[in-house]
């Protein structure tokens, strides 16, 4: 009898620690699951903050190219003055406007709808207005009426007429054989469209800007022009926008390690 009692007591003593171990393991697993859930929430919050910052940075970089083309109207290519040849600063906005207006003169679509000419001319003046506005703000001789957006729009009309009809250097960019693609003109179109839409759409128009800069550089060399720092800045800003967009993309959640 004593032997049986001793065995039963030993079995009870051995069972109790086992139950304690199981309860301890369950508690540890619950705590671990709670910790994983908290870290996942923090990770998502951090990812959202990082993505917001990256997209804000991308828009800032996109505005650099936009400001260079529309507000500053910077030249992307330049030809120095030489005997028998005038100097020229190739500006994508001016070349693009002149090319569009001269193309519309012979376009069947515009010939059938004369009102389209008015729309095109008004759009071109709108594109030239930001530069005129900045010049009026920095000029001490400008009248108060000229320092408004309405005054800048009216002043842009004179510049529009000069670019389309009187600027021989701009018109020179358009006089190429029809068989040869005018890379300067096509590149100007690409840069104008790219810088306008790049701040709104990510991942597409950055490539359009880079392509436009390459076409302008290759085509401008045929006219004896050299690339200016502004061209590299616009292309570099577009490349940085692509890199920032990739960095802002959500990353997959890390895999949970199973506890043995």
Q: Which of 248, 250, 229, 237 is nearest to 205 (CA)?
A: 237
Output the pLDDT for position 7.
Answer: 52
CB atoms within 10 A of CB 71: 14
Q: Do 115 and 125 contact (CB within 8 A), yes or no?
A: no
Q: Do 234 and 62 contact (CB within 8 A), yes or no?
A: no
Output the pLDDT for position 249.
Answer: 72
SS3 assignment for 201-248: CCCCHHHHHHHHHHHHHHHHHCCCCEECHHHHHHHHHHHHHHHHHHHH
Output the pLDDT for position 170.
Answer: 83
Coil vs helix vs strand at 255 = coil
77 forms beta bridges with: 90, 227
79 forms beta bridges with: 88
Which residues of the chain are under the pLDDT cut of 50?
A: 5, 18-19, 21-22, 31, 33-36, 178-179
Give residue-wise pLDDT tens across range 154-182. Answer: 999 999 999 998 887 788 778 765 446 88
Output the pLDDT for position 33.
Answer: 47
Output the pLDDT for position 177.
Answer: 53
Coil vs helix vs strand at 169 = helix
Q: Model-level pTM? A: 0.77
Element (H, E) at 6: helix 2-66
Q: What are the structure tokens assigned to 102, written together?
A: 């001269």
Chain position carrying tokens 């594109």: 127
Distance CA 251, CA 232 (A): 31
Output the pLDDT for position 213.
Answer: 95
Distance CA 110, CA 116 (A): 6
Query: Exposed, middle or buried, 92 (CB in 10 Å: 0-12/13-18/19+)?
Result: buried
Q: What are the structure tokens assigned to 221, written together?
A: 């060399």
Output the pLDDT for position 166.
Answer: 83
């Amino acid at each position: 009898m004593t032997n049986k009692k001793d065995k039963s007591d030993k079995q009870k003593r051995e069972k109790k620690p086992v139950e304690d171990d199981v309860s301890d393991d369950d508690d540890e697993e619950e705590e671990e699951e709670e910790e994983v859930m908290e870290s996942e929430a923090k990770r998502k919050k951090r990812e959202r903050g990082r993505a917001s910052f990256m997209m804000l940075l991308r828009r800032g970089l996109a505005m650099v190219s936009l400001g260079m083309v529309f507000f500053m109207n910077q030249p992307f290519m330049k030809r120095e003055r030489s005997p028998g040849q005038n100097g020229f600063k190739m500006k994508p906005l001016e070349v693009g406007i002149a090319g569009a207006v001269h193309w519309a003169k012979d376009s069947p679509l515009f010939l059938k709808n004369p009102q389209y000419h008015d729309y095109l001319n008004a759009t071109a003046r709108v594109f030239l207005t930001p530069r005129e506005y900045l010049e009026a703000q920095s000029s001490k001789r400008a009248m108060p009426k000229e320092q408004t957006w309405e005054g800048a729009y009216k002043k842009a009309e004179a510049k529009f007429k000069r670019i389309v009809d009187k600027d021989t250097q701009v018109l020179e960019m358009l006089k190429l054989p029809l068989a040869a693609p005018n890379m300067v003109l096509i590149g100007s179109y690409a840069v104008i469209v790219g810088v306008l839409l790049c701040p709104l759409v990510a991942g597409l128009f950055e490539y359009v800007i880079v392509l436009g800069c390459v076409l302008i550089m290759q085509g401008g060399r045929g006219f004896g022009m050299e690339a200016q720092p502004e061209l590299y800045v616009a292309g570099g800003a577009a490349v940085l926008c692509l890199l920032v967009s990739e960095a802002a993309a959500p990353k997959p959640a890390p895999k949970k390690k199973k506890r043995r």
